[in-house]
Structure 1
C-alpha cells in the first residue's frame, strides 16, 4: 500500500480478493482485508493499492468503496476500486486542452492524423498528462509508446478513454497505466501485442478451455446520408452504401456533420457509420491457466494465443480480459480470448466467424 503521493507504507493484510483486467479499459479490484490489523488501521481513503501475482504487477489504483464488517469478534474490510486507467474515463476530450473547460469556443474539435500510438500519447498527455492544465493533470508520465499504423481522431467532449480504446483496438495496440515505485508516478504505455499463437495453445485436453460460444448479428445500417455545412437545400449531401448481407436487411440513416464541408471528411464519416453498423460475428472463449502456461507470467492482455475447441476447430485471437482471484484454496484465473460482451464495437471478421460456426456445427452433427 502507498500514500497518495506514492510513498510505500507496507503490505496490506489481504485475506483474499479478485481483480478484473480489461485490455484498453479500466481494471477493477476487490480485496478482503484483516480489519483488525494495525497495518490496515493506518490505511487512508486516498491511499493507493498495487496488486501483484506470480511476481508480476497486475495493476495499480485507488479504492472507491470500503465496507467494514464485524462478526463473531472478527473484523474484515472489503476494499473495492479501479486502476489508474480510470483517469482517462474521468476526463473528456477538450478541443483546446490548454484552455479551461468552459472556454472552448475557438477550436471546434481536437483533430489530428498520424500514427495511432502517437495520437494516443498526445491525447492523454494534453488532457491528463504532464502537458495538461493543473486542474486536470494527474501524476502521470509518458512511457514507451509503439507507433502502430496511422489513424485519425476528431473529438469533442467525449471520454478520453473511449477515444483511446477505439484508436488502440483499430491499430492492434494495448494501452495501460501502471504505477512506477521509483518514479513515484504512474506510467502510460502503448505496446504492440506479441504473437504467441504457437507458444501458447490452450485446449480441453490440457485443461485450458472452460467454455465457448458463437454469436452472429445482422447489420444495423446499409446506407448513410451525410449532411455537411449549409442550410436547407443548400446543404452538402453525401450518400454512402455498404454492408451487403445475407440477412435481407436494409436501412438508410442520416448523419449530421455541420462541422465540415470537406468531401473526404464526409466520405470518412459515412464509412465510419457503416463500419460501426456492420454485420457482427464473435467467438466468446473462456480459458484457464495450464501448468505450462500462466497468464501474467507467460502471456498478457493484447497477446495472440491459440485455442483448440473439442470439435477440433482452432481459433487464434487476442487476449481481451482476465479475472484473477485468490482465496484459501489458492489462485484461479479465467481469460477471455476474442471480442467480449463489453467490446461489441470491435467485431471479428464476419466471414471468418461464419466459417468457424459452420465447421463447429458440422462436427457437432456428425
Structure 2
C-alpha cells in the first residue's frame, strides 16, 4: 500500500472496529457537502477479512494522517467470479456515509407526543441560531431527546456552536429530516454531517471556510490536470407564495429572481404556505423564507469539475474540504471561486487521485461568477451578431 493511500477499517453494527483492510485492490470514496456520501471497495474474496464485509457491518475510511474521511454502513457486498479468476473471485463492497441515518427519519409536528396525539400539521421553529434549530430537529426526532421508540442509541450531538442567524419558519408534518436540514443549512451557508467519533455517530454542524485565497488550482500552477463546467436552466424564477386561507384570510406574495443566462425567462412556481396562520406575527418572515428557498432551489445551475493534484503545500483534507470555497483558473486566465460540493478520492496499490466537483445551485451564491461569465459571453456574441446584421 502506498504511503499516502487511504486506510480502511471494518466495524460491526455497534461501531466496534474489527480490523484494517490492507489488501483492497481499489477504493473510491466520495464525501459530499450536506448529502449522503458513498464508498466502493474491491477486494479478493480470498481475503482473511472478506467474511466481515457483510450487511450490518460498516466501513471507516481515514487518511494516512488518521483523519476520518467517511464512515458508514455496508449496503451491497457483491461477489463475482469468472473463468479467468485464479481464486475465489472478487468482492465489490458498496457503502454509504453515516449521513444516511438522517434520511431514515421524518420531522414530527410534535416530536415529544405519541403518533396518535399529533394535533398540529407543522413543527414551528423560532430559535436564536440556525444551528440550534438543526440540532433540535435531530435531537427530538432521532437523537437523545427523541421518544424511546424513535431514538437511535448510537446518535449523539456535537457541542452547540450557535452558528448561523436566527431562524423562524415552519416545517410541514413528516417532511424528511435530511431534506429539511439541507434546506435550512443552505439558506444559512452552514454544513453538517454524521460521522463516527469513538463509539458513537456524531451529528456535527460547522461553518465552511473560504479558502479561495490559499486553495487555488490552475494548469499554470501544475496542480490541475483537467477542468470542465456545465450549466442547466432554472426551474423557478418567480415564486408565488400563498399563506392562510382556512380559517385565516389568504395572503399572496410574489418573489422574482432574474436568471443571468435566461434574463427573459419567467417560470412561476406555487409555494404552499396555507398552513401558516396569516395572523402570525412572523408571517412576513415565513413567507420570505419560503419564497427565497423556492427561488434558490429552482435557480439555474452551474457546475465546475476539476481534477486537482495533491501537492505537499495543498492537499485535500488538510488545506480544503467539501463545503469550502476554492479558486480555479480556467479560460482567459480568470479565477473563479466556488464551493466544493463533492470530492472523489480513489486509491489503489499504485496510485491515489483526487477529483473535486465545485459549484452549487444558487444563482446568487458563489457559482454566480462562472454562471455570469457564460451569460456575458452570450450577450457579447449577441451584440456582435447585431452589429454584423446592421
TM-score in terms of structure 1 length? 0.86
Residues 109 and 122 in structure 2, CA contact (< 8 A), matched pair in contact too: yes
Residues 224 and 270 in structure 1, CA contact (< 8 A), matched pair in contact too: no
CA shift for structure 1 position 190: 0.8
SS across alignment from 2:290: helix
CA shift for structure 1 position 28: 0.9
SS across alignment from 2:42: strand
SS across alignment from 2:106: coil
Matched, 1:136 2:150: yes
Unaligned runs of 5+ in 1: none
Residues 339 and 366 in structure 2, CA contact (< 8 A), matched pair in contact too: no
Matches within 5 A, 1:8-27: 8-12=17-21, 13-27=23-37
The CA RMSD measured in Å over matched residues stands at 3.0
Residues 148-172 of structure 1 show CA distances to partners (whole Å, capped at 9, x for unaligned) of 2223342121111111111112212
Residues 54-98 of structure 1 show CA distances to partners (whole Å, capped at 9, x for unaligned) of 322111111111111234332221110111100111111111122
Matches within 5 A, 1:1-366: 1-12=10-21, 13-55=23-65, 56-71=67-82, 72-74=85-87, 75-100=89-114, 102-114=115-127, 115-138=129-152, 139-146=154-161, 147-155=163-171, 156-181=173-198, 184-205=199-220, 206-208=222-224, 210-215=226-231, 217-218=233-234, 220-222=236-238, 224=240, 226-230=242-246, 235-244=249-258, 247-250=263-266, 253-262=269-278, 264-265=282-283, 268-269=286-287, 272-273=290-291, 275-277=293-295, 279-291=299-311, 292-339=313-360, 344=361, 348=365, 352-353=369-370, 355-357=372-374
Residues 282-340 of structure 1 show CA distances to partners (whole Å, capped at 9, x for unaligned) of 2423232331312112211122221111411111222111011112431111011221x
TM-score in terms of structure 2 length? 0.81
CA shift for structure 1 position 36: 1.1
CA distance in 1, matches of 2:270, 2:105: 29
Unaligned runs of 5+ in 2: 1-9, 385-390
Residues 164-221 of structure 1 show CA distances to partners (whole Å, capped at 9, x for unaligned) of 111112212111111122xx11111111112222111111222325223252635634
Query: Number of aligned pairs?
Result: 357
SS across alignment from 2:107: coil
CA distance in 1, matches of 2:378, 2:224: 22
